[in-house]
Copies of this chain bind each other. A is one copy, B any other.
Amino acid sequence: MANPYETDLPRTPANYTPMTPLSLIERAASVYPGYTSVIHGRLKYTWAETYARCRRLASALAAKGIGVGDTVAMLAANIPAHYEAHFGVAMVGGVLNSINTRLDGPAVGFILDHAGAKVFLVDRELSATAKSALAHAEVKPLVIDIDDPEYAGPGERLGDIEYEDFIAAGDPAFAWKHPDDEWRAISLNYTSGTTGNPKGVVYHHRGAYLNAVGNALEWGMPQHPVYLWTLPMFHCNGWCFPWTIAAMAGVNVCLRKVDPVLIFDLMKTHGVTHFCGAPTVLTMLINADAKLKEGLKPGVRVTTAGAAPPAAVIQSMEELGFHINHVYGLTETYGPAVVSAWHAAWDPLPLSERARLRARQGVRYQMLEAIKVMDPETMKEVPADAQTMGEIMFRGNIVMKGYLKNQKATDEAMAHGWFHSGDLAVLHPDGYIEIRDRSKDIIISGGENISTLEVESVLYRHPAILEAAVVARPDEKWGETPCAFVTLKNGAKATDKEIIAFCRENLAHFKCPRTVVFTDLPKTSTGKIQKFVLRDQARAL
Instruction: Show the binding face of A for B, using Cβ within 8 Å.
Output: 3-9, 11-17, 19, 23-24, 27, 30-32, 34, 68-69, 95, 116, 183-185, 188, 202, 207, 213, 216-217, 220, 222-224, 247, 341, 343-345, 363-364, 366, 369, 394-397, 399-402, 404-405, 407, 410, 413-414, 417-419, 431
Contacts and interface: CB of A to CB of B under 8 A. Distances in A.
A414 B15 CA distance: 8
A24 B366 contact: yes
A196 to B, nearest CB: 20
Contacts of A24: 366
Contact of A184 (B6, B224, B363, B364): B6
Give the most central of A222, A224, A402: most B CB within 10 Å.
Answer: A402
A217 B222 contact: no
19 contacts: A5-B401, A6-B185, A7-B405, A9-B402, A12-B414, A12-B417, A13-B395, A14-B418, A15-B207, A15-B414, A15-B419, A17-B395, A23-B369, A27-B364, A27-B366, A30-B431, A32-B343, A213-B217, A220-B222
Contacts of A404: 4-5, 9
A394 B363 contact: no
A405 B341 CA distance: 44
Give the most central of A13, A343, A405, A417: most B CB within 10 Å.
Answer: A13
Contacts of A7: 405
Nearest to A16: B397
A24 B366 CA distance: 7
Nearest to A218: B223
A414 B16 CA distance: 11
A19 B397 contact: yes
B247 A366 contact: yes
Contacts of A405: 4, 7
Given A183-B11, A202-B5, A400-B15, A220 B217 contact: no
A397 B222 contact: no
Contact of A417 (B13, B220, B410): B13
Contacts of A27: 363-364, 366
Given A15-B400, A17-B397, A5 B213 contact: no
Contacts of A394: 14
A9 B395 contact: no
A8 B409 CA distance: 11
B69 A414 contact: no
B222 A116 contact: no
Given A27-B364, A27-B366, A397-B15, A8 B213 contact: no
Contacts of A419: 14-15
A431 to B, nearest CB: 5
Nearest to A19: B397
A405 B6 CA distance: 10
Nearest to A186: B5
A8 B410 contact: yes
Contacts of A14: 394-395, 399, 413-414, 417-419
Contacts of A410: 8-9
Contacts of A344: 224
A223 B11 CA distance: 33
A373 to B, nearest CB: 14
Give the most central of A9, A207, A405: most B CB within 10 Å.
Answer: A9
A116 B4 CA distance: 10
B31 A341 contact: yes
B369 A17 contact: yes
A222 to B, nearest CB: 5
A214 B480 CA distance: 52
The 7 closest A-B CB pairs, nearest first, are A3-B69, A13-B417, A5-B185, A9-B402, A15-B399, A17-B369, A14-B414
Contacts of A213: 213, 217, 366
A367 to B, nearest CB: 9
Contacts of A185: 5-6, 9
Contacts of A116: 4
Contact of A217 (B4, B216, B341, B414): B216
Nearest to A363: B31
A430 to B, nearest CB: 8
Nearest to A9: B402
Give the most central of A202, A213, A417: most B CB within 10 Å.
Answer: A213
A138 to B, nearest CB: 15
Nearest to A248: B217
Nearest to A406: B8
Contacts of A366: 23-24, 27, 213, 247
Nearest to A341: B31
B247 A30 contact: no
Given A14-B399, A16-B397, 4 more contacts: A8-B407, A15-B400, A27-B364, A31-B363
A365 to B, nearest CB: 9
Nearest to A27: B366
Contacts of A216: 217
